[in-house]
Homo-oligomer: A and B are copies of this chain.
Amino acid sequence: MIPARNAPGPRALVPFVSVADMMRLVHHIGLRPMIRALADRIEDDFRRWEKFDKSPRVPAHSAEGVVELMPTTDGTTYGFKFVNGHPGNARDGLQTVTAFGMLADMATGYPVLLSEMTLLTALRTAAMSALAARWLAPPTTTMAIIGTGAQSEFQALAFAEICGLAEVRLSDIDPGAVAKCARNLAGTGLRVIPCASPEEAILGAGIITTVTADKRRATILSDNMVGPGVHLNAVGGDCPGKTELAPGILQRAAIFTEFTPQTRIEGEIQQLAPDHPVTELWQVITGRAPGRTAPAQITLFDSVGFAIEDFAALAYVRDEALKAGTFTPLDLVADPDDPRDLYGMLMRSGPLPA
């Protein structure tokens, strides 16, 4: 047993937001208000884009998928997310994407938050999509969602909360997934239209969200499916070799990215020349570049997810979880009374080694 005098001090204890804690926090705040708050927090951080370190994510690929580290800092706080993407996981009853993350104080290097991010990534991804649409989409109350997996309900509710969405049209290669999404969205106030095909889903939709999980070049939307004036929210194409849109669509669209050097590698635009013109969304938000310039323009948010979004989400969760008490203190940092005496702390915690 560890004697009481070695009980961890307050600096050793890092607030940990578990999956159960995160669910409690969502219910405490409310899902839609929380998505709105996340979108606002991301927008605030995009406004101070130039303060952030912008490194590309650090991936490790295998035959089955990818694991990635996504670090960033605003100079005061540091954050990173660990996230995987394994399209075959669902077949084995596992999540395609799971994640956790942390924040640390840049002045001391000490961790100040550890959090589950599987749920949080779903929330912030939906918040990010709706935030981009707030700046780019045409006036519309109808969205198609192609791919009704784990992210789909969050997308629908984010667009309802932030963009005034009233009708969502659902399509998936698996009718069971459409039924699941429709069931989950019943009673949310959205008009939900299950559709038999992507072609049916996009009828009358001012926004088309693609959020499939295949790790390969797929053509979820072919060129002739996308008419003038539509906003495309391409969420599923997010790693090298994984895309959802026919190249012809990209040629006709005004393309908006998060952090272009990363999107060139991971986004839909990996199908284009490396100098194909694109606009970063922070430039639109800060007024340095135009968003949508004409009603007939096709706008495309080529979303791959960027570390600043996770940073904003973690900072929000830290504030709210500490207020709401939805966290567990975790004995993560060795904290000897004398910082030079790590050995002494260890030895005083038990018998001398032989």
Contact = CB atoms under 8 A, between A and B. Distances in A.
Interface of A: 2, 6, 8, 11-12, 16, 18-20, 23-24, 26-27, 30-33, 53, 55, 58, 60, 62, 64-67, 69, 71, 73, 75, 78, 80, 82, 84-86, 89-90, 92-96, 98, 100, 102, 104, 106-111, 116, 118-119, 122, 148-154, 177, 180, 184, 187, 330-336, 338-347, 349-354
A104 B84 contact: yes
A108 B89 contact: yes
Nearest to A9: B93
Contacts of A330: 16, 18, 330
Contacts of A107: 62, 64, 86
A60 B342 CA distance: 25
Nearest to A176: B340
Contacts of A94: 11, 108, 110, 335, 339
Copies in the complex: 2
A122 B347 CA distance: 14
Contacts of A148: 340
Given A94-B11, A333-B19, A353-B32, A150 B184 contact: no
